[in-house]
A and B are shown apart, each in its own frame.
Chain A
Amino acid sequence: MDGDSSTTDASQLGIAGEYMASGHYVLQSQDDDGEESLNDHDDSGIKENFREQDIYLPIANVARIMKNAVPQTGKIAKDAKECVQECVSEFISFITSEASERCHQEKRKTINGEDILFAMSTLGFDMYVEPLKLYLQKFREAMKGEKGIPGVSVGEGLGDELTDDSFTNPLPAGIITADGQQQNVMVYTTSYQQIPTVQQIQFS
């Protein structure tokens, strides 16, 4: 498959067809072999058989993040946005294959958080690791709030893959403490919550 397929799935996946053809660019003594070898992957697990770099994150999201990162008066060229889209997929694949390798070395089948962090460290993204750990903590707490189960284990045993559903629904109004007594359970307020002993907080 060389990225020319134009099924509806393809358009949903945000394939920037015009960008794929390297005929748009003249390569300055670039060796194309790097690109060719990516075609030889065993694409098991993907029914559409896309090359890994054919799948991109939505350009709107990517552009927004870029825009917020540069000074307010700054602009971003369209081809730069498309380009970063590709770079992003490359980055994800880069990290993933490193993490996957480590996983295999340790005879495990599921890539876990540690693998990812380790991969980042190894590949020169060490500076992300500490902030990421903090974000992960927040994420886990938000997840706990949703499930109402303290100490939900997200370890390897579950092998759960996350769907978007977990994030599109608002946090339920359910709470962790049930009988109004002070318990050793932390209630994290990230959205509207009903707490019997406390006045309801309306977030407008």
Chain B
Amino acid sequence: MKMSQNTPDKDDQTSTNKKTISLPMSRVRLIMKSSPDVSSINQDALFLTTKATELFVQHLAVASFNGSGKETNTLSYSDLAQTAEEKETFHFLTDILPKKILARDYLQSLDQMQDDDADF
């Protein structure tokens, strides 16, 4: 904590320290308000949510990047989907992160299911 009056801050650190966030709070507030039954949100809550969102993005990115056995150096959609499935913390994302499969495979498994049904 800088308590001294004389401690200079580098300018780019300054703007970061001043805000300590890099996401627009007004947008975060919009998203929060779109939840049902939310009437008002105090300053602290908005800040905490915004900052937490930042942490979340970092967390998700790192977990997904490390999660796949990396030959490519790229974080892809399927890395994210895999992380959502494997890590309990990210389970809430499984609905919006369905694993992509080829249409051909899907149709095949559809046929499979129909065959299975026919067995009854």
What residues of chain A have their CB less than 8 Å away from a CB belonging to chain B? 13-14, 25-30, 34-35, 41-43, 45-46, 50-53, 55-58, 61-62, 64-66, 68-71, 73-77, 79-80, 83-84, 86-97, 99-100, 104, 109-113, 115-117, 120, 123-125, 128, 131-132, 135-136, 138-140, 142-143, 154-156, 158-164, 167, 170-171, 186-191, 193, 195, 198, 201, 203-204
Contacts and interface: CB of A to CB of B under 8 A. Distances in A.
A30 B98 contact: yes
B74 A160 contact: no
24 contacts: A14-B27, A45-B38, A65-B22, A75-B75, A76-B74, A80-B75, A83-B80, A88-B57, A94-B92, A111-B38, A113-B48, A116-B48, A135-B51, A139-B20, A139-B47, A154-B42, A156-B42, A159-B42, A160-B42, A161-B42, A161-B43, A164-B26, A189-B8, A193-B5
Interface string B36-77: 111111111111110111111111111011000000011111
A173 to B, nearest CB: 14
A109 B38 CA distance: 8
Contacts of A104: 37
Given A167-B19, A170-B18, 19 more contacts: A26-B106, A28-B109, A56-B27, A58-B24, A61-B24, A65-B57, A69-B57, A74-B73, A89-B31, A91-B56, A97-B38, A109-B39, A117-B48, A125-B89, A128-B55, A131-B55, A142-B18, A158-B42, A193-B5
B31 A52 contact: yes
B73 to A, nearest CB: 5
From A56, A68, A86, A139, residue with most partner B Cβ within 10 Å = A139
B31 A93 contact: yes
Contacts of A28: 98-99, 101, 106, 109
Contact of A142 (B17, B27, B29, B56): B17
Interface of B: 2-11, 14, 17-49, 51-62, 64-65, 73-77, 79-80, 88-89, 92-93, 95-103, 105-106, 109
B11 A136 contact: no
B53 A116 contact: no
B60 A164 contact: no
B87 to A, nearest CB: 9
Nearest to B90: A87
Contacts, number: 283
B62 A136 contact: no
Given A51-B34, A188-B3, A110 B40 contact: yes
A56 B52 CA distance: 15
Contacts of A100: 35-38
B2 A188 contact: yes
A131 B62 CA distance: 17
Given A84-B80, A189-B2, A66 B29 contact: no
A14 B7 CA distance: 40
A109 B41 CA distance: 9
